[in-house]
Structure 1
Amino acid sequence: DVGAALGLGRGFQFEQDIFGAKLKLVGDAVLEQDSWLPQIAIGIQHKRNQQGAIVRAVGAEDDSGTDVYLSATKIFLEQSLLLSGTLRYTEANQIGILGFGGDRSSGSFEWEGSAAYLLTRQLALGAEFRTKPDQLGVAKEDLWWDVFLAWAPTRHVSVTLAYVDLGNVVVADQSGAYLSVQVGF
């Protein structure tokens, strides 16, 4: 239990409000197969941690912050491959769970990337990663990564199995298996 590990009481939860917007600037990831230009978008996310006193007590400068990012995505249909990369400016500590800014820094540019390969029309294998700033002396941040296998037996059902490693997020060693089943109509 995270709350117990931090001395905040069993069952304690960090909570955030996140608002975002994204605008496609150029390109079309699917329809422009004859061009090497990826689909490029710019986005913004404003995050507010609802435990301001706690995040400031661990060294955060603020309980809210705004990320700005530029992303590029390209689908290579002939090769059954999707590639995506993002450059993000962030002040967030542990994606905002521990506030924004700190004793080491008040913001940095971070990278995110993903790749997925279609093994069949219904089965994809992929990986993702995300670098994170290391701004708080009390909470080392690690690279996030995962590998996944996604299966879509019909257009209404998908199943994803993944191994996720988030490193240390508030408490040590946040890693494990993930299973998601999604049904939509």
Structure 2
Amino acid sequence: MSKKLKAKDIVYSALFATLTAVLGYITIPLPFSPIAITGQSLAVMLAGCVLTPIQAALSMLTFLFMGIIGLPVFSGGRTGIGVIVGKSGGYLIGYLVGAVIISILVRKSKSKITMFLACLFGGIIVVHILGAAWLGYVTGMGIEKAIMVGSVPFLPGDLLKAVAAVVIGVRLNKNIRSYAHA
């Protein structure tokens, strides 16, 4: 059975792909890490909290595709396939996987606790596992060091982003539902 994408799916996906790109311009380089702090993980968590799994996947695929073809959407305005195969590539692929996992988990129950736990699992754990594993592979630094420089410093901020994603996501879901029934 084939489902066709509706205009709404494309619009929501494009909106969250753009949000992910825009939040990539909020960067804080860390002197001890090859990975910078960005706002993109907030967009990933929001996409998972608000969009369907298909929309979430489409939004992150669109974001990745825009960067691969040369649009400056990756953190700090970087662009190209080199970013995907470089140090931060695992995190970028993690955005796709994480957004879909969050969305699947949130669909089970839209409670704030479920949303927060989904953000913790999909938006933090999954993204960091893929990101640190790829960082370790690409740099040859080993998984322990990759976790210490590519994940641990980001956890406090990611927890705050998860809380923000839940607060914003609950509000967006309420507004989207009221708009859909208007």
Q: TM-score, normalised by structure 1?
A: 0.27
More helix by share: 2
- Which structure dedicates a bigger proportion of its chain to strand? 1
Over alpha carbons, which structure has the higher Rg? Answer: 1
- Larger relative contact order (CA 8 Å, sep ≥ 6): 2
Q: TM-score, length-normalised on structure 2?
A: 0.28
